[in-house]
Amino acid sequence: MTLDKDRLERVRGWAQRYVDARTFAGLSVLILQDGDEVFFDARGLRDLESEAPFERDTVVRLYSMTKPITSLALMTLVEEGHLHLDAPLSRFLPEFAAPQALIPGASHLDQVAPCAVPTLHQLLTHRSGLSYAFNPGLVPAEMAARDLTFAPRAGTLAEGCRRLAELPLAFAPGTRWEYSVGIDVIGRVIEVVTGQSLAEVFQQRIFDPLGMSETGFVVAENQADRFATLYTPLPGDAMDLNATATEGDSLRFVDGPSGSPFLDPTCLSGGGGLVGTIDDYARFAEAMRRGGQGIVSRATAAFMMRNHLPGDIAALGPSSFAEQPMRGVGFGIGGAVVLNAGISGVPGSVGDFSWGGMASTFFWIDPVHDLTTVMFTQLSPSSATPARAELKALVHGALM
């Protein structure tokens, strides 16, 4: 099937409605089919105060769309025989050598029992027992109290992992699915194995080969005047994925180009630290769609985009937030995999591989129709709108 250009024009009207409603300050959408650009649109503002337009070269915070890139970097090391996915985390980070997990029904952090060391595979697929500070539960609450967020200025990646190891796991590895900082920890494993910083690994193994010159952990000097402002509809914490907006300004300022922690980060977060442009991210997504494009083999790319869970995410009893639906959707190495679009309730193809970020960014690869779609905006939290599901429906509605 090919994309009908007249039907794709609906995307522009949809995007304008979000801008007119002051839900998004600005956004862009890029769609490729068979590697050829078939649609691009950018509208609204990247900064309300200066009225600077949201353009094709606007630089955004990728947040969790960093995770698939970190996962790809680890798989290059797997291909080279430096490690294997069932290796215990403690082989690389000794601080995780004697973990304990909360017992089922625990009401205090000291109600724990010894458990197995999580494997790299469990970290990659969010089954390690680690969590996020914004999730419900005892461990997330303690993470929030200790500011264990792997935010840009939250110490170094090595320090964050050492502090994380002081806490119990939220559950025994392998028994549940819970969105977590596991891929931040994978970033540290990559550093230990290579003897390089995560930034150096990304540059050499992914960014340079793919021509991703606008992506990195730091907003470069030549990007500062193109860096978008981050907004939130929430009156409180913009990173509270479980909160709901109240009356008032729908676009409250969170972080702008001046003084942003992304100008001089100390923590190279493999789970959420990258900034970049829409064309750069499309290069990464297209490399995956094309079978690794030499970064990894075609077989390894296909392995990454398969479901690595025994069923869908919902079957593993998650109580956490996720960037995707949980019913009818599995999880691969670095992203979600559609198993049954009918059960998920979102139009799509079996095998769609995707993920999103805290600031409502989103990408997906459709292997059935050879599509790559990337959407950029800067509104946190991503749970504030149904934009991702709507965009998938719009694109599917143009397949004729």
Which pair of tokens denotes residue 397?
Answer: 């509605």
Q: How many angstroms separate the CA atoms of 323 and 180, rounded?
A: 12
Cis status, amide bond into 265, omega within 30 of 0: no
DSSP characters over 258-313: TT-GGGS-S---TTT--EE-HHHHHHHHHHHHTT-BTTB-HHHHHHHTS--SSS-G
Contacts of 122 by beta carbon, 8 Å cutoff, 6+ apart: 128, 129, 173, 174, 182
| CA 230 from centre of chain | 16
DSSP string, 345-365: TS---TT-EEEE-TTS-EEEE
Radius of gyration of the chain measured on its C-alpha atoms: 20
Q: Which one of 64, 180, 354, 380 is the catalytic residue?
A: 64
| CA 328 – CA 314 distance, rounded (Å) | 8
CA distance 205 to 304: 17
CA distance 397 to 255: 35
Max intra-chain CA distance, the chain: 60
Q: CA distances (Å), 155 to each of 255, 324, 372, in order? A: 19, 29, 35
Question: Phi and psi of 244, rounded to 5°?
Answer: -120, 150
Give the integer Cα–Cα distance in Å for 124 and 130. 11
| Contact of 237 with 254, CB cutoff 8 Å | no
Please spell the DSSP secondary structure of 163-176, one letter per residue: HHTTSPBSS-TTS-
Are the beta carbons of 124 and 182 closer than 8 angstroms?
A: yes
Structure tokens, 166: 């002081």
Active site residue 319: no
Looking at residue 134, its amino acid is F
Can you tell me the distance from the alpha carbon of 251 to that of 108, in angstroms, rounded to the nearest whole number? 38
Q: Catalytic site residues?
A: 64
